[in-house]
Amino acid sequence: MSYLKLLAAIAALLVAATGACARPLVIGAISGKPTEEVAMFHPLVEHLARGLGEFGIDRGKVVVVRSISELAALMKGGGADLMFDSPYPTLAVGELSGSKVLLRRWKGGKSGYRSLVLVRADSPIVSAKDLRGKVIAFEDAYSTSGYFLPADALQRSGLTLRELPAPHAPVKAHETGYVFSDNYANSLAWLMHGRTDAAGVGEHDYERFLKRETAQMRIVLETPNVPRNLVSVRGDLAPALVARIRELLLGLDRTRDGQTLLKSLERTTRFDALPADDEQTLESMRRLLRRSASGATR
């Protein structure tokens, strides 16, 4: 073999070795609409991957699963690196996988939000305790504002919650039945059309309705504020890689291209560090999750 051919062979082996070591940066997500989820997060993960070449990352990838337990398995096994979600699924995945909260995301331009429990304006229900023997609509089992927060607040007020197969299923007098409606609009529609006696929704979703519509509802319970959305990373990512991801996310709102990318990501305005009071709120939520194992594995 000539000297030039030997060099060419060595170069080919080096290229092959480099390609074999390269890997994608993977965002994991929970959704029943995988096509939409991939379309939303793909520009972001590709942007991040372009800034992580020194760590052997050459592309971005989005993996969508249907449950908290599935995403936790991915994070724990190295099949996903990042997660962008509201506090409840984020912390539930963290409890199962060891993933860690990295940053706060200002989704929809908001740093935090709270939940409301609503009844019809003409309802005889005036407080949470009046919901015994009644039925409330929640969004879905993975929603922070549409399930976890209002359900926790109702339980703290002394109610015993039990899931029902349908809105008109029998409910015991000493319990409060609940059903999942799939989204906040359904929850409020079910309330207004009498399918349920109450609805638990995020304040940000309630505010999307017109005043003439909200005038037909009445708030009987408000929850404390929690962070709007969070970024978490799998627990065994190299600290230098985590630091670089953090730097890239924090810098997005400082450039025009970054601002455009953020806007396409559900009108996100920026990422920032969690304030101390939000850290305390998350720790309180972690304690609640630990006391309710079913909440972390649904």
> What's the rounded Cα separation, in Å, for the pair 233 and 245?
9
Q: Identify the pLDDT of residue 252.
A: 98
| The dihedral sign for the CA sequence 275, 107, 231, 298 | positive
261's enclosing H/E stretch is: helix 256-264
Q: DSSP assignment of 1-50, as one string?
A: --HHHHHHHHHHHHHHHHHHH-EEEEEEEE-S-HHHHHHHHHHHHHHHHH
List the pLDDT tens digit at each of the 298 positions of the chain: 565 455 445 544 443 444 456 999 999 999 999 999 999 999 999 999 999 999 999 999 999 999 999 999 999 999 999 999 999 999 999 999 999 999 999 999 999 999 999 999 999 999 999 999 999 999 998 889 999 999 989 998 999 999 999 999 999 999 999 999 999 999 999 999 999 999 999 999 999 888 888 899 999 999 989 999 999 999 999 999 999 999 999 999 999 999 999 999 999 999 999 999 899 889 888 887 887 655 433 3
Task: Extract the tokens encoding 170.
Answer: 């029998």
Q: Please answer whether residues 298 and 143 qualify as being in contact, where contact means their C-beta atoms are separated by less than 8 angstroms.
A: no
Q: Identify the pLDDT of residue 6.
A: 53
> What's the rounded Cα separation, in Å, for the pair 116 and 243?
37
Could you give the C-alpha distances from 201 to 14, 134, 174, 181, in angstroms and in order? 56, 17, 23, 11
Q: Which CATH topology does 15-110+228-273+284-297 take?
A: D-Maltodextrin-Binding Protein; domain 2 (3.40.190)
Domain spans of the chain?
A: 15-110+228-273+284-297, 112-226
Could you give the C-alpha distances from 279 to 102, 104, 204, 213, in angstroms and in order? 11, 10, 21, 35
Closest CA to 248 of 261, 238, 237: 261
Give yes or no on whether 15-110+228-273+284-297 and 112-226 have one common fold.
Answer: yes
Distance spanning both ends of the chain, measured CA to CA: 62
Q: What is the pTM of this model?
A: 0.77
Q: Identify the pLDDT of residue 7.
A: 44
User: Residue 203: helix, strand or coil by DSSP?
Assistant: helix
Q: Identify the pLDDT of residue 142.
A: 84
Q: Please answer whether residues 157 and 198 qualify as being in contact, where contact means their C-beta atoms are separated by less than 8 angstroms.
A: no
Q: DSSP assignment of 45-105, as one string?
A: HHHHHHT-GGGTEEEEEEEEESSHHHHHHHHHHTS--EEEE-HHHHHHHHHHH--EEEEEE
Q: Which CATH topology does 112-226 take?
A: D-Maltodextrin-Binding Protein; domain 2 (3.40.190)
